[in-house]
Structure 1
Amino acid sequence: MTVLVRLCALLLVVASVSACSVRNPIESNSPDSEVAAARYVDSGPKQLTLYTMISNDTGAGAHTSILINASERVAFDPAGSFRTDGIAAKNDVVYGMTPYLVDQYTRFHARETYHVVLQTIEVSPEVAEMALRKAKTLGPVLEAQCALTTSQLLSSLPGFEDAPRSYYPRKLMDYFTAKGATYDRLFEYDDDDKSKVLAAFVPEYESVPTN
């Protein structure tokens, strides 16, 4: 493969995953006290939910992340930008994924140019816990490596050893389809500038009325 071909291939990868273009520096990590305080335990089944952001224009995958429901529920959001005051995050793991925050997280990724595909697979408590531990070791993730890093997490789990190691979010989406995952999509047509969404974000503890 010539240098020019390699360069073109690299540019294609970067273009296809342009949405995961933020490396979250260690300095931006929430304090341990905030991470601990945000901890949320969901009583539902242990699950892995793959998020894939899809271009409404081209159908190409642009970002990959995964919601992990284990002894606590977190989102592994590699090189993602869902970060602002009131959101506890450390090394690309977003903590405290309550139903409210899951809704905010999902809607944050849907916009006039992209929709979100959500695919869920139930797993054993042991596998869910392994995924949680692995997610906590993988960040901060380099730009344009969201799908690759998520695939590394998945392939380390029993039953997912055959997960494709790929830079392309759609390959992981197709893999989850083949594994029999549930399938749902969210379309929204608000402004493409999601910084406005974060600017308007209201932390859950502020959004709950007090008596």
Structure 2
Amino acid sequence: MFRRVLLALALPLFLAACGADNKWASDESVRAARYTSNEQPSISLITVIGVARGEGGHSALLINGSQQVIFDPAGSFEHPRAPERHDVLYGISPQMRNVYIDYHARDLPGERYYVTVDTVPVSREVADTAIRAAEGNGPVNKAFCVSGVSNVLRSTPGFQGAPGGFSPLRLRNWFLTVPGVSTAEYRDGDPRLVHGDLLKMSDGSLRTYDR
């Protein structure tokens, strides 16, 4: 009886965690936002890590191919200049990339996280394969960000050994074994990041401003 009560109480939480984001930006907004970088094509694993206990909080991919996008499975980031289709964010210029990182690198009561960006240079063809895999993955259920990232990586040449599961740190530890990887780390207030587009409120929410 007690077990059934626990299951009944847990069911709404489980269902809430399974809701996928079905955002679908218009063709016009995606075309208008498109950003192409002159930098070496690459695939970067973004990991959000708790400051206090070192636990993994989120995983995403920054992919620089024929255009630069972020695959943000089950993510909460929103910006009017980064249209989204099923967890793929378009218009990822260097400034928008920094805004995305700054959104996750926060030092607020009960929310203290830093961000690591691990980057592997690849060919344009490999990067575009990863973009297509992200676009074809579909929306990811809440709490399944690692699974979504792993699915995309396993569809990409050179990254097929990516582990699944639910641990951003386990995925990151594997990614760090990929040949040629380099790492950058960002904390709240990092001067390398863009500030001003998004203002972090005391409750952890964000208010957006146009420049």
The TM-score bracket by the shorter chain reads 0.7 to 0.9
1:58 aligned to 2:53? yes
Q: Secondary structure at the match of 2:66?
A: coil
Aligned-pair CA distance for 1:160: 1.2
Q: 1:121 to 1:168 in 2, by over 3 A?
A: same
Q: 1:101 to 1:31 in 2, by over 3 A?
A: same
Letter in structure 2 aligned against 1:88 = P
1:25 aligned to 2:21? yes
The percent identity for this pair of structures is: 34
Distance, in Å, in 2 between the alignment partners of 1:76 and 1:103 is: 15
Match of 1:49 among 25, 44, 56: 44
Distance, in Å, in 1 between the alignment partners of 2:182 and 2:55 is: 20
Letter in structure 2 aligned against 1:127 = V
> Contact conserved, 2:68 with 2:90, CA < 8 A, in 1?
yes
Match of 2:208 among 186, 200, 209: 200
> Contact conserved, 1:64 with 1:146, CA < 8 A, in 2?
yes
Matches within 5 A, 1:101-120: 101-112=96-107, 113-120=112-119
Q: Which runs of 5+ in 2 are unaligned?
A: 190-199
Aligned-pair CA distance for 1:58: 0.9
Q: Which protein has the bigger strand share?
A: 2
**Over residues 29-67 of structure 1, what are the superposed CA-to-partner deviations in whole Å (9 max), with x where a residue is unaligned?**
221210111011001111011100001111010100000
Match of 1:99 among 94, 101, 107: 94
Distance, in Å, in 2 between the alignment partners of 1:201 and 1:169 is: 31
Q: 1:93 to 1:194 in 2, by over 3 A?
A: farther
Between 1:28-37 and 1:128-137, the stretch displaced more is 28-37
Q: Which protein has the bigger helix share?
A: 1
Q: 1:104 to 1:194 in 2, by over 3 A?
A: farther
**Over residues 71-114 of structure 1, what are the superposed CA-to-partner deviations in whole Å (9 max), with x where a residue is unaligned?**
00000000111114333111100001011101101101100111
TM-score by length of 2: 0.80
Between 1:79-88 and 1:42-51, the stretch displaced more is 79-88
> Contact conserved, 1:38 with 1:88, CA < 8 A, in 2?
yes
**Over residues 149-200 of structure 1, what are the superposed CA-to-partner deviations in whole Å (9 max), with x where a residue is unaligned?**
101111111111111122110011101211141111111167674422xx13
> Contact conserved, 1:23 with 1:80, CA < 8 A, in 2?
no
Structure 1's consecutive aligned runs of 4 or more residues displaced over 6 angstroms after TM superposition are none
Quote the residue 1:179 is aligned against.
178
Q: Secondary structure at the match of 1:178?
A: coil
TM-score by length of 1: 0.80
Q: Which runs of 5+ in 1 are unaligned?
A: 15-20
> Contact conserved, 1:93 with 1:136, CA < 8 A, in 2?
yes
> Contact conserved, 2:70 with 2:89, CA < 8 A, in 1?
yes
Q: 1:24 to 1:124 in 2, by over 3 A?
A: same
* Number of matched pairs: 184
